[in-house]
Amino acid sequence: MTILVTGATGTVGRNVVEQLASRGADVRALVRDPSNANLPSGVVAMQGDLLDVDALRNALSGVSTLFLLNAVVPDEFTQALITLNLAREAGIERLVYLSVIHSDVYVNVPHFAGKFGVERMIEAMGFGATILRPAYFINNDVTIKDVVTGYGVYPMPVGSKGLAMVDARDIGEIAAIELIRRESSTTALPHERINVVGPDTLTGADIAAIWTEALGRPIAYGGDDTAGFEQNSRQFMPPWMAYDMRLMAERFLTDGMVPEAGDVERLTALLGRPLRSYRDFAAELTAAA
């Protein structure tokens, strides 16, 4: 019984692989370059990507459960559908898919709409699947630490509705728990969706206050300028992606990323411990400086 993890060296995928390996699972990791993968002992690196049909067929052969994670790229939907079809061809029936919270609400945001399309195809193709729907990754804010510390501003246009930001380490552990639950079940398990959130729903002002506390000096919230966010994002990502991120930020302002009743309690019970908080993240990042 073998679990294949795609996106295995990324922010979430690496945590999934480590959690599975620590639990004694038989793990394969799909990677572009096995020589640089730096995987845990016992994990088998499978060279390939989600558009390399021959390599993907090889990686899926003999696999019983699939963790499907694919990056935000222009052909994300195509990659996912190719993988799902090849997984079905290989006889795989058990699946955990990393989607995004409110994929059915942020319908004008390209990477949200793509993930919702994949969710629907998973259900239509009859997989026994857990759909994980994480909120905004706390860990994304590593990239703006220098702005916070150097300019005294938290620059993400989070708005006032609030985001239930989640730590990627918690996402990885929850994914591993679900993969092993499906892998080890002797009967078919029902299709399921899980919102993966953090313990607190935070506004832009809330996050600025957390940084103020962590750094011991005033940090201001930069405001809701999504056009400026798009222009700044173009410095380190292609224009199409910067625009995609702007559309997402605009939905932050109008809708937020708010958990449903019972989400936090469900995840806390699943992990057997409290969820990691943004305050924990800010304190860790500050201590490491």
Residue 236: helix, strand or coil by DSSP?
A: coil
State which residues form the domain around 91: 3-134+168-196+259-275
Nearest CA to 205 among 197, 213, 196? 213
Strand-pairing partners, residue 3, are: 27, 65
Residue 218 in domain: no
pLDDT at 35: 87
In a domain, 25, yes or no: yes
Tokens of 44: 């088998």
Closest CA to 97 of 81, 75, 108, 73: 81
Total Cβ atoms within 10 A of residue 62: 14
Report the pLDDT value the prediction gives residue 288, as an integer from 0 to 100. 84
Torsion, CA 48, CA 50, CA 56, CA 57, rounded to 10 = -160
Would you say residue 111 lies in a domain?
A: yes
Note the pLDDT of residue 80.
Answer: 97
E-strand ranges in 227-270 read none
By three-state DSSP, how is residue 108 classified? coil
Task: Give domain status of residue 220, yes or no.
Answer: no
- 187 belongs to a structural domain: yes
pLDDT in tens, 113-158: 999 999 999 999 999 999 999 999 999 999 999 999 999 999 999 9
Q: Determine, yes or no, domain membership for 163.
A: no
Q: Is residue 103 part of a domain?
A: yes
Verdict on whether the full-model pTM lies above 0.85 = yes
Looking at residue 99, what is its pLDDT?
A: 98
**241 assigned to some structural domain:** no
Tokens 């609400």 belong to residue: 105
Chunked into runs of 10 residues, the chain (289 residues) has average pLDDT values of 94 97 97 92 96 97 97 95 98 97 97 98 96 97 95 97 98 98 94 97 98 98 97 95 98 98 98 98 91
Give, for 3, the enclosing helix (H) or strand (E). strand 3-5
Minimal CA–CA distance to 119: which of 96, 99, 95? 99
Q: Is there a contact between 199 and 274 (Cβ–Cβ < 8 Å)?
A: yes
CATH code of 124's domain: 3.40.50.720
Q: What is the pLDDT of residue 266?
A: 98
Does an H or E element contain 217, and which? none
Strands (E), the chain: 3-5, 27-31, 44-47, 65-68, 94-98, 128-134, 153-154, 192-196, 220-221
- The DSSP secondary-structure symbol of 21 reads H
One-letter amino acid for residue 88 of the chain: R
Tell me how many domains the chain contains.
1
β-sheet bridge partners, residue 128: 94
- Under 8 Å between Cβ of 243 and 234: no
**Structure tokens given for 272:** 């057997």
